[in-house]
Structure 1
Amino acid sequence: MFQHMFTSMNEMLDEITKQYPQASEQERMAYLRQVAEMKKMSDSFIEQWLDFEEKVADFQECIASDQPVTVTTSVMDNDADPIGQQAKTNLPVEAYPCSMADLAIPEEAEVLVNKGQGYYNLFMFSHAARLFHDAISIAPECNLARLYLGMSQMHMQNWQEAQRQFQLLIVLSDFPKWLALGYNALGCIHAVHMNIAQAEKLFRKAYEVYPSFTDSLNNLKSCQDTPGQLSLYFGSTELCCM
């Protein structure tokens, strides 16, 4: 999970670095906010890692006087367990586990998320967005609320805010379906701004992550075949059955 998170953050920072020089003043402010959020997230994980290392050291000191137990950690390389590695490689995308943050709704945010889903299903996206925003303020780890908030912003054509939420989602989640929805939505935003090459790249990435989600392929075909008006699928129908 952490490797994926920092890989996504590095990719996002690379993209911001590339886009920043020619960005407008408003876009630059948005980029600076995104970098600040990523830096805050990175610092938080570093602090938690240091706390964990201190606890491990305390534990080792505690047991050293009782019995000669050695606590070691190791990283298995790709060749160390070829059978296990092959099994993981051949595992269907749908079978990859997701973290609790991907599906669980924290108790303190449950009422807000449930109400937000109700408004969303009634196509009252502005009402839904306010509730999902409040839910994330209370429980920022709730990826489901962030996904709904991003989709609500997409429907209201608030592209900049939608982009921010989906960029955070693909960093915070390791659930293939959520990642595909995030990459697809980001591709739609780039397509709306006629950044077709980047849009196609994101649509391909969405399909690679979760092939069962076909909206990304439809969007890719639309970018390649349609010289004029684009026909884009946000992926919001995937939320109807939740």
Structure 2
Amino acid sequence: MFQHLFAEMNKVLQEIVTDYPTAEGARRNELLCNYNMLHRLSDKVMDEWLAFAEKLSHFRESVDFTTVVEEEVPEQEAPELCMDTFVRGQGYYKLLMYGKCIEQFKEVIVQYPDSLAARLYLAISYLQEGEGEAAWNHLNHMLGLIRETKLKAMVYNALGCIRASQERFNEAQELFGLSLQLDPALPEPTVNLEVCRRRGGKLHFGNQLVSLL
């Protein structure tokens, strides 16, 4: 529903980020107008989203969705997904409002400390905010919960990127090595090991991990 809108917004924003530093005259004014338009649109979308989430919450509180059944209803695998704070956090994440996203998911993990989804949202948001150690804590917590080998390999790669960005290359190499042991087909750790060897270069965090959100 929102993919097209956000795709267009990101396209315009990327154009501003790329061109504004060197733009002059009319072009600079055009980019500034586009920025102001995006800012107003972002505020409008956020206001509408929060109003909708509040109405949804009020309805959920006023209606009994439970039904009487003879068979025992299995417990929901991830009950935190129904929390208002989880839904709001997702909304903030999609709007690239990572600080607000962090506030919401910090509340989620108070009640569900082992929520993989909440921990991943927090880790990626902290990385976007430039807070590597905070991201490390959440990714490291995830390692003890993950059963799927490929996902664990991606998390080790992300942890390695954090250490490499801090120029702790020996630690980073160990983490990239663990990632490759779990999933030799994962391309990012191999590239990142070369970055460590050269003591510099572009680290590949892994789009697959981010795409899970």
TM-score relative to the length of structure 1: 0.50
Q: Distance in 2 between matches of 1:235 and 1:117?
A: 20
Residues 109 and 138 in structure 1, CA contact (< 8 A), matched pair in contact too:
no
Of 156-165 and 206-215, more deviation after overlay is shown by: 206-215
Could you tell me which residue of structure 1 aligns to residue 16 of structure 2? none
Show the counterpart of 2:85: 112
Please, which of 104, 129, 149 is the counterpart of residue 102 of structure 2? 129
Matches of 2:146 and 2:120, distance apart in 1: 10
The equivalent of 2:136 in structure 1 is: 163
Aligned partners of 1:109 and 1:135 also within 8 Å: no
Output the CA distance in 2 between the equivalents of 1:111 and 1:183.
30
Question: 2:194 matched to 1:210?
Answer: no
Change (3 A) 1:118 1:208: farther
The change in CA–CA distance for 1:131 and 1:191 in structure 2 (over 3 A counts) is same
CA distance in 2, matches of 1:233, 1:153: 17
Q: 2:38 aligns to what?
A: none
Q: Distance in 1 between matches of 2:187 and 2:91?
A: 26
Find the partner of 1:232 among 188, 198, 203: 203
Aligned residue for 2:78, secondary structure, equals coil
Cα shift at 1:199: 0.3
Q: Deviations over 1:71-112 (max 9, x none)?
A: xxxxxxxxxxxxxxxxxxxxxxxxxxxxxxxxx532475433
CA deviation string 1:22-71 (max 9, x = no partner): xxxxxxxxxxxxxxxxxxxxxxxxxxxxxxxxxxxxxxxxxxxxxxxxxx
SS at match of 2:106: helix
Q: Which runs of 5+ in 2 are unaligned?
A: 1-76
The count of corresponding residues between Structure 1 and Structure 2 is 137
| Residues 151 and 209, structure 2, Cα contact 8 Å, conserved in 1 | no
Separation in 2 of the partners of 1:168 and 1:207?
20
- Following TM superposition, by how much is the alpha carbon of 1:167 offset from its aligned partner in structure 2, in angstroms? 1.4
> 129, 153, 157: which is aligned to 2:126?
153
Contact kept? 1:116, 1:128, Cα under 8 Å: yes
Bigger relative contact order (CA 8 A; separation at least 6)? 1
Task: Could you tell me which runs of 5 or more consecutive residues in structure 1 were left unpaired when the two chains were aligned.
Answer: 1-103
**Of 183-192 and 119-128, the range deviating more from structure 2:** 119-128
Of 170-179 and 196-205, more deviation after overlay is shown by: 170-179
How far apart are 1:237 and its partner, in Å? Answer: 5.0
Distance 1:131 1:222, change over 3 A: same
Partners in 2 of 1:122 and 1:221 — Cα distance?
34
RMSD: 2.3
* 2:80 and 2:86 in contact (8 A); partners too: no
The CA deviation at 1:220 is 1.7
1:45-64 alignment to 2 at 5 Å? none
Question: 1: CA distance between counterparts of 2:87 and 2:172?
Answer: 32
Q: Deviations over 1:187-230 (max 9, x none)?
A: 11211221111101101211222345322222222222x34x43
Amino-acid identity (%): 29
Query: Within 2, Cα distance between the matches of 1:217 and 1:110?
Result: 39
Alignment-derived partner of residue 93 in structure 1 = none
Call closer, same or farther: CA 1:212–1:145 in 2, change over 3 Å: farther
Q: SS at the partner of 1:172?
A: coil
Aligned partners of 2:186 and 2:83: how far apart in 1? 27
Alignment-mate amino acid for residue 240 of structure 1: S
